[in-house]
Structure 1
Amino acid sequence: MPMSDSRIDRVVVPGTFDPVTFGHLDVIGRARRLFPHVTVGVAASVGKNGTGPTFSLDERVDMLLAALEEEGLADGVEVRPFSGLLVSFCKEVGAGGVVKGLRAMTDFEYELQQADLNSNMAPEIESVFVMSNPKYGYVSSSIVRELASLGTDVSFLVPSVVERRLEEHYRGREERGRRRE
């Protein structure tokens, strides 16, 4: 199939953002520098890791909007929740590409499989990969959640609005646990 001469005007940066980290924000900011319109797709991911996400879809959208504002990245970035196939969401918002960040070879292997599948389902949607900023190569939402659940400072991994939400979440869980005892 020959490549189209049309330029990509809008891309989707997808993820569960449970919670959003500085690594996610770096990828979103870089996508914004490359493309005029960026839609961040917050995936419902009901069955993620067999348990579902820590924060509700609405909470993750709210945290992401607040984090983008706090970090000065809100201009030209739209945030929308979605469920179902990523390629369907891309078509719904008129995106010609998907931007994903890569931290390590394990990310590459997984993302390449996803990109190949997406290409077979929607060849008109390009996959664009950006390498992780070395400052954030080790950062993941699961690491942030684990550290926060142990009461560890995560301010170097997430914006302050997210740090506060994590503290509230895990403090509330502790209080509920004490009431049961």
Structure 2
Amino acid sequence: MSRQRVGLYPGTFDPVTNGHLDVIDRAARLLDRLVVGVAINAGKGPLFPLEERVELVRAETDRIAARTGCNVEVHPFTGLLVGYAREVGAQMIVRGLRAVTDFDYEFQMTGMNHRLDPEIETVFLMASETNQFISSRFVKEIARLGGDVSSFVPALTLERTLARVRSKDKDADA
């Protein structure tokens, strides 16, 4: 019996974008089991609480799992990435790359992770050309300024993002 191919795709997913889902879909076609680790990362001042981010990612990845046959799990995590990778039995960390600017940061992170655990490989998947420019930060900023983000996020995430932005605007006006 062959060893199961297990990967970990970490991120804050605040909010989950079509770019994230593109990487998850492509990783799921390569793996037997993909753990999507939703990082707590309170330092980034997330728009959504952790539980809601997990819920939104899970809602979208269920369809990917059904289509690809990959066991896709979504869990919150905190702490050292390689420690969590070991905990879930991942042999690889999946990272998405959008542009050359991502590469510098990812290159350094990969080196550090390799030093911490040389048994865990980092695999990079380039975002498809239609999703390379999408970032959660830009989605939030455009939504806050009243722009149309419907082509950047799935429908449920769009609905929740717009509601959250409107709620924050009302709180700011109060």
TM-score normalized by structure 1? 0.89
Q: Equivalent residue of 1:169, what SS?
A: helix
1:3 match: none
Structure 1 residue 29: Cα displacement = 0.6
Determine which structure has more spread, i.e. the larger CA radius of gyration: 1
Retained in 1: the 8 A contact 2:4–2:33? Answer: no
The number of equivalent residue pairs is 169
Matches within 5 A, 1:20-99: 20-48=16-44, 52-69=45-62, 72-75=63-66, 76-99=71-94
Q: Deviation at 1:155? A: 1.0
* 1:65 Cα deviation from its structure 2 partner: 1.1
Q: Which residue matches 1:126?
A: 121
Superimposed CA distance per residue, residues 32-84 of structure 1 (whole angstroms, 9 cap, x where no aligned partner): 00111100000111212xxx222111111011112224xx2134210010000
CA distance in 2, matches of 1:113, 1:97: 16
Name the counterpart of 1:151.
146
- Using the size of structure 2 for normalisation, the TM-score is 0.92
Distance in 2, Cα, partners of 1:145 & 1:91: 32
Q: Out of 166-175 and 82-91, give the one that drifted further.
A: 166-175
Alignment partners' CA distance in 2, 1:81 and 1:22: 20
- Structure 1 stretches of 4+ with a deviation exceeding 3 A read none
Equivalents in 2 of 1:56, 1:86: separation in Å? 20
* Aligned amino acid, residue 144 of structure 1: V
Q: Report percent identity of matched pairs.
A: 48
CA shift for structure 1 position 7: 5.6
Q: Which amino acid aligns with 1:17?
A: F
1:135 is paired with a residue whose SS is: coil
